[in-house]
Structure 1
Amino acid sequence: MIDKLEMFIALAREEHFGRAAAAQGVTQPTLSAAIKQLEDQLGVMLVWRGSRYRGLTPEGQRALDWARRIVGDTRSLRQEMRAAREGLSGDIRLAVIPTALTVVSDLTAGFTEKHPNVRFSVQSKTSAEILDMLENLEIDAGLTYLDNEPLGRVTTVPIYDERYVLVARADHPLLSGPVRWGDLGDVPLCLLTPDMQNRRIINQHLAEAGVDVDPQIESTSVVVLVSHVLRSNWATILPVRAAEIFLAGSELGSVPLIKPDASHTVGLVAPHREPFTPVLAALLARARGLSEIGIA
């Protein structure tokens, strides 16, 4: 039953029988047969069928909520029993917004020293993707904004407040003193793409200052932005923590952005499900510890 529920979750996520089968490591006929057997066991049709996947039936939508809950609880039970037998071990799948990637090591380094049998895999994702992946059980936790856009039903632990600086070559004339958001109207900018919440935050503050945003370079990667800044008279806007790693001993400089002195809270998000697995409970405790000492 659990295997069939996992295939059903994969189908709802991928919205395509072939992709769902590939994600589960089975053939398409095997996945189709599993979904049909699940429908027979539950006595309802879960998926509208035609020549291709056509979505979930109303019963399928209800079943999907239960499937996520049952599969999540089953995984938690397995991890709980493994922790009782072996201590904390296993994998933590973490998705992180690009501007918080440099903060991940604050979260993971001390954790892995204390729990050497726990391994992390870290992906760079948008805030929206992080919430979707949590819901679909594709990740165990995420590092994202907590106070700017709705999060839904998740457990949150604030870690630090993100503040912003203008980053440019060290000889850029604007680096001589604090810069107001409203001073950036004629500055060639490199920014993250509009699907990134950081970009939406920056757009908001620039718009409030009367600046129309028209960046010459857009990317999903902070590294791409910084590499362009190094090569020309472009500038970019980054959170202080994201900028620090590029500023040390480089040709770049930074200056605070003021009026407003904007800040937004970044923290750990996890499924709203209790009890937490021992590994996830330990990770949440680590995040609370970082919040208490103030890492930013």
Structure 2
Amino acid sequence: MASDVLFQHLDYLLALAAERHFGRAAARCHVSQPTLSVAIRRLEKDLGIVIVQRGHRFEGFTEEGRRVVTWAQRIIAERDEMLADLERMRGRLTATARIGAIPTAVPASPFVTTEFLRRNPDAAVRIEALSSREIARQLADFEIDAGLTYLDDEAPPGTRAVELYRERYVLVAPTDLDLMSAPEVSWSGAAGLELCMLTTTMRNRRILDANMAAESAQYRPVVEADSVDALYAHLANSRRATIASTAWLPQLGVPPGFAARPMVQHGPRPAIGLVVLDRMPASIVAAALVAVAEDMDLGARIDKWWESATAG
């Protein structure tokens, strides 16, 4: 078996694993499809195995191929970490921090990324909205460096977590609704409104459903979406409402003609945190993000903002 496997060939293989299509994988790597195909065949020759199941189009990976993809993910991740570590030794970090965030944490993500970029001005950040389950998968596959997600029984295994804040829920609804004059809004009261909610695939929605069930409230959202921005878009010029986290409000605010009132709290407030793979040596980018998360008391900042916004 040849031992001169090229990093570039592994990069091409991971692009194919991500795209599941030769043409799209080639475009992702900025090469022609024949170039990518030849590189994959060269990798198969060097390793002495068949990696890709071929027909008229990409049909998947062989058992050996799936194992090679897993190793390629680790090898490329370690290569990137080596390069990032060398940059750090030169006094700078130039890597791109890849962060997956659940939709409800996306509005709060600038608190983390702004401080990360202040400390590492040569670095960059890429944020992608993902479900908590997809964050766990992409962390395990080295596709992201960190996740912003719930720290509960669905938290990814094999990870290190730093709590950032705890969600406090508020009803964002037209100011002139009767229930908006109350100091707190019951979940059964909110259930009667035209609610815009995240989809049931999102952990936030499952948490809100549990709060509704605690008051035996039956409700049916009129709009379901997979992003917070989409929920807010459906509030504009309408009589609809949504149940938000106070962590959204510093960035998104409250739409004109709307107000925010606290919901009755059932049980402990769900924790949101930064999660990274718990491995040695630690990822340089992940370690830099953890250092930011550990130094900021984001929960206190969000709570202080909320108290200031509702004062008087």
Match of residue 66, structure 1, among 71, 77, 83: 71
Q: Take 1:115 and 1:193, find their aligned partners in 2: how far apart are those partners? A: 36
Q: How does 1:19-98 map to 2 (within 5 A)?
A: 19-98=24-103
2:195 alignment partner in structure 1: 189
Shift of 1:284: 1.0
Calculate the TM-score normalised by the size of structure 1. Answer: 0.89
Q: Take 1:29 and 1:249, find their aligned partners in 2: how far apart are those partners? A: 52
Label 1:185 to 1:113 Cα distance change in 2 as closer, same or farther (>3 A).
closer
* CA RMSD, 1 decimal: 2.4
2:208 alignment partner in structure 1: 202
Shift of 1:135: 4.0
1:269 alignment partner in structure 2: 275
Label 1:287 to 1:86 Cα distance change in 2 as closer, same or farther (>3 A).
same
* SS of corresponding position for 1:263: coil
Q: Which moved more, 1:169-178 or 1:208-217?
A: 208-217
- Give the counterpart letter for 1:190 in structure 2: C
Equivalent residues, number = 296
2:306 alignment partner in structure 1: none
Label 1:79 to 1:247 Cα distance change in 2 as closer, same or farther (>3 A).
closer
1:18 alignment partner in structure 2: 23
Shift of 1:71: 0.7
* SS of corresponding position for 1:241: coil
Label 1:192 to 1:134 Cα distance change in 2 as closer, same or farther (>3 A).
same
- Give the counterpart letter for 1:205 in structure 2: N
Shift of 1:37: 1.4
Calculate the TM-score normalised by the size of structure 2. Answer: 0.84
2:16 equivalent to 1:8: no
1:172 alignment partner in structure 2: 177
- Give the counterpart letter for 1:226 in structure 2: Y
1:237 alignment partner in structure 2: 243
More strand by share: 1
Asked whether the equivalents of residues 230 and 252 of structure 1 are also in contact (C-alpha less than 8 Å), the reply is no
Higher relative contact order, structure no. (Cα contacts within 8 Å, ≥ 6 residues apart):
1
**5+ residue gaps, structure 2:** 1-5, 303-312
Label 1:232 to 1:250 Cα distance change in 2 as closer, same or farther (>3 A).
closer
After TM superposition, what 4+ stretches of structure 1 lie above 6 angstroms from structure 2?
none
**5+ residue gaps, structure 1:** none
* SS of corresponding position for 1:4: helix
